[in-house]
A and B are shown apart, each in its own frame.
Chain A
Amino acid sequence: MMNDLIYIIKLCGEAIIILLAIEIAFYLFANRKDQSKGSKHLKEQKKGTTRIYTGFFLFFLLTALGYVFYGVKIYFWYLYSTTGVLKAQGFYLVNNIGLLLFIYAFSSISLVLGSKRTFLPGLVILLALPILFCGPLWVFNILDYLIIPLSIIFFVIFLNFIFITKRRLRRNFFSIFLGFILLLGGCITSTQILDPFIQLIDYPITEGFMLISLILIGFGFTSISSLKEAFPAAFIEELYLIKGNGTILLRYQFRTQPTNISKENPPQMDEETFASSVLGIEEVLREISSAQGLLKTVVHQSKILIVERASQIMGVFLTRVELGVLRSHLLNLLLEVETNFLNEIQTQETLAPSSRAILIAKASAWFKDDLRKVGDLTLKDKPKPTLGRLFKASNVIFEKFPVRISPIKFLSIYIALIVIQVLVLVFEIKGSAISISQGLLGLLLLNGVFLVFYLINKYLVRAYNSNVDAIFKNIRLQSEGIELAKEQPFPYRALFYAYLVGCLVVLPLTFIVCVILLNLIMSFIIIAGKFVIFDGILTAEFSVNLAKFLRVNLFLHEMSQNNN
């Protein structure tokens, strides 16, 4: 039974949780518009960032609201357990409203996935709202379990995202991820999923989970200045390596998203002029300021010039945002170049073609991972078609082919399946002796299977790391591959076409088979869960706890009958 001290601790914990959740929500809301320099022309990225922040904002706001009701629930529980049963009705009402808000909160994360259409889960719950007030309690309990699939989807996507980040950013995102896992733990302990095992409301467990999670999340979010830090290379347009005398060692042009290549801008000035201009600016500024110094940054409305130096060479990034991470990238690159080519830099006017090729490879390797997420890296000089390159080109098509499932489609299929299975389960339970908890634990396992499915799918076709819709827009790549194929002699050409057909036909078929098989496995798990595993091990315990769990409801039912 809850005592005074626990009651106070729990209520104070609730208050802090609400405060933190609201703070995080409004911090994210304030950051939803990316104000970083040079972001004026990055409409796509800005939209994406706004959506992500709005999704998280809604999540935390709804979580805070949910916890307002959860706090009221504790209040009712405290009074109910000490003064009488009349407030039990209120207890259930606020509990259910709170729960519904949590489910809405988890639904709002679907906004983060990239489309308003993915707000479907929220819509499903909205439709289920009348059940809250007029339906039987056990139907509502099933809604609890929607938190699990929704959060699994979110976690998978988040984990995916963490893997493409590096160093400090990865640590911060991991802190957020860990926070979300604990937050889910807190949400689960605040629902009735674990109640059959322990009377969680009598201990400040939920509050502990939630507080740690919110601290981790808050710390993580405040340490990330901009979401753009996750893919800095996507904002670089050009890289210049310049010798002290103004000779260009390397000019490397990055091409990121096709939509971002500004058509209205005239072509860049030639590389020699560029190098001497940068050096000239530096010289004049030195004269004006009468100080020995180095040019560091030139900020323009839409472009930023980041300048860094090693002892022999100067590096210049022409970028579209000003991120600290870019400067450190550039400095590291310069130091690496100096270490490897010092002799050549000192003795020769320009780099040998082989060294240039190595430098290009280094630069491309450096940013490839980042770029893969947002678009496509293409070298200016078209490589000569060879058999190896031909297969490479076909691989590009293979990688880009939409056989992989996009998060949006995955979410829709997943939610639809879960909803169908919940409904099936409900109808099955109605006519049988199986407890709701058993069936729902089966569903929990089912979600695990789905998670495995998604991961397999991810590693099979490298889903999600590249832009989902890019292939549909970027016909150029496909035609490039076909053009390359056309130039090859007959047997190779035939081989290539066969390979392409294989990619186009076999993989979708495999995918469909996989889905069917997984559904069969899932059905099996439900059946096994109901009739074999849980019946044999947990039935007795579950029955007792379920009875405990529903006792207030039964009591109320009796009361209403007596009143009648």
Chain B
Amino acid sequence: MISEIITLDIICLVIVTVLLMEMAGLFLKQYLKSRELLSLLLTIISCAFCISGIFYFLRFFVIGDPFFYRMEVVLRFISFTTFVFMFERKGREKSFPILTVLCVACILAIFLLPYDLAYFLGFTIYGAALAVLWFLIRTYRNTDGRVRHNIVRAIIGGFILGLGIGLSADYVVQLGGQYLIAVGLIVQLIGMILLGLSFYGIRTTDEFLWYLEVKDLFVIFNSVCLYAYSIEQDSNLKEADLYGGGLASVLFVAQSIMNSQEPPEHIVYQNLNFIVRLGTQKFSNNCLIAVLIVKKNLSILHEKLEKFLDTFENQFKDVLIHWTGDTEPFLKNSGNLNQIFRLRTG
């Protein structure tokens, strides 16, 4: 008769495997729909973890073959390497992906070297995990709002996952007893769910590279363009009045078509997106309107535009209350506001 603890271990392992399969399916579906690289990489990561779980099961409950151990470690390593590759490829320095190559070398070594050596080399996986953590922290610094929250969740999920893997490791199980397998697996499960959900919420790695998608920024008040800046070229826009006025008329006409008192929230024109935000404060019965022209409609850009508009309103509150039509004060004093749409350095 099977002992209760083994039954529990097996059930936990099955649940973890199924959940990882499910996550892989979910990401694959997302990839097929959006063709986003992030989804494909997450599919690979989930699959690798899932199959690694199967080898773990074989090693613990069927036969302790060294081959199973190799496969288990290699597959986990592949997961981490995929993460490293993802961040290196999407990072600012698109140079030679040195860390990815190092990880691949480790994987090959674990797979090919004699078992004793491979066993010790398996510990380099922690190096890959640290690299992933470092990349996540770096990405955290460059993002904002919801994306940033998701990155925080992903970091926490990664920690929990690591804890789970540690708890269900051979040495720890030998020391603490077989119940640790179940505990470790459940902890892993929580970590994977957290990690998966965080990245599922981000949807695209372009959210990390939002600064490449921004083109121009306009602030309109009373159909007059107060401020127009090309973020792409990092300079004030030429013929800003003309473009700003045109944009104001577009918003006004769109508003009339919709029979509304407010301008539209979003306009899609071919491959460009016009994100529109209405200010929260009223100046002479009118609100500021900010328009951001972007190549890709990313959630982080909506949040940044909102933040920009709030700051703009507060900074020029006094000017706007008694505004006589002079746009000079805005052009002179709003240079610092563009920082919201620039990448943090240092």
Contact = CB atoms under 8 A, between A and B. Distances in A.
Interface in B1-19: 1-2, 7, 10-11, 14-15, 18-19
B274 interface: yes
B267 to A, nearest CB: 5
Interface stretch (A189-197, A297-305, A333-341, A537-545): A297-305
Interface of A: 4, 7-8, 11-12, 15-16, 19-20, 23, 82, 222, 265-266, 268-269, 274, 277-278, 280-282, 284-289, 291-303, 305, 318
Given A297-B268, A298-B254, A288 B260 contact: no
B14 A16 contact: yes
A244 to B, nearest CB: 17
Contacts of B10: 8, 12
Contact of B259 (A265, A285, A293, A297): A265
A16 B11 CA distance: 9
26 contacts: A8-B10, A12-B11, A19-B18, A23-B22, A222-B29, A268-B259, A269-B259, A274-B257, A280-B253, A281-B250, A284-B247, A285-B267, A285-B274, A287-B243, A288-B243, A288-B247, A289-B272, A289-B293, A294-B269, A296-B270, A297-B268, A298-B266, A301-B265, A303-B260, A305-B257, A318-B257
A15 B271 contact: no
Contact of A284 (B15, B22, B249, B265): B249
B15 A19 contact: yes
Given A277-B253, A284-B249, A305-B258, 19 more contacts: A7-B2, A7-B7, A8-B2, A16-B14, A16-B15, A82-B1, A268-B259, A269-B256, A277-B254, A277-B256, A278-B257, A281-B267, A282-B269, A285-B269, A298-B254, A298-B258, A300-B254, A300-B260, A318-B257
Nearest to B245: A284
B18 A16 contact: yes
B224 to A, nearest CB: 16
A4 B1 CA distance: 6
Contacts of B293: 288-289
Contact of A277 (B19, B257, B262): B257
A266 B261 CA distance: 11
A299 B271 CA distance: 15
A343 B270 CA distance: 29
A274 B257 CA distance: 6
Nearest to A16: B18
Contacts of A289: 269-270, 272, 293
Nearest to B25: A219
A281 B265 contact: no
Interface string B23-62: 0001001000000000000000000000000000000000
Nearest to A280: B253
Contacts of A19: 15, 18-19
B257 A269 contact: yes
Nearest to A307: B268
Nearest to B269: A285
Interface centre among A8, A82, A281 (most CB of B within 10 A): A281
B279 interface: no
Interface of B: 1-2, 7, 10-11, 14-15, 18-19, 22, 26, 29, 243, 246-247, 249-250, 253-254, 256-260, 262, 264-272, 274, 293
Contact of B271 (A11, A20, A287, A293): A293
Nearest to A264: B259
A298 B267 contact: yes
Given A288-B247, A295-B267, A15 B256 contact: no
- Provide the main secondary structure of the chain A interface: helix
Contacts of B22: 23
B258 A300 contact: yes
A291 B259 CA distance: 28
Contacts of A305: 254, 257-258
A288 B257 CA distance: 20
Nearest to A285: B269
Contact of A281 (B11, B26, B243, B254): B254
B7 to A, nearest CB: 6
Contact of A291 (B26, B247, B268, B270): B270
A295 B270 CA distance: 6
A224 to B, nearest CB: 13
Interface centre among B7, B18, B259, B293 (most CB of A within 10 A): B259
Given A281-B253, A288-B243, A298 B11 contact: no
A360 to B, nearest CB: 22
A11 B7 contact: yes
Interface centre among B249, B257, B264, B265 (most CB of A within 10 A): B257
Nearest to A286: B269
A119 to B, nearest CB: 32
A15 B189 CA distance: 14
Nearest to A316: B257
Contact of A295 (B1, B15, B26, B269): B269
A286 to B, nearest CB: 8
Closest 6 CB pairs of A and B: A293-B270, A299-B266, A297-B268, A296-B268, A12-B14, A300-B258
Given A11-B7, A15-B11, A280-B253, A297 B266 contact: yes
A290 to B, nearest CB: 10
A386 B265 CA distance: 48
A321 to B, nearest CB: 14
Nearest to A79: B1
Contact of B260 (A274, A284, A297, A302): A302
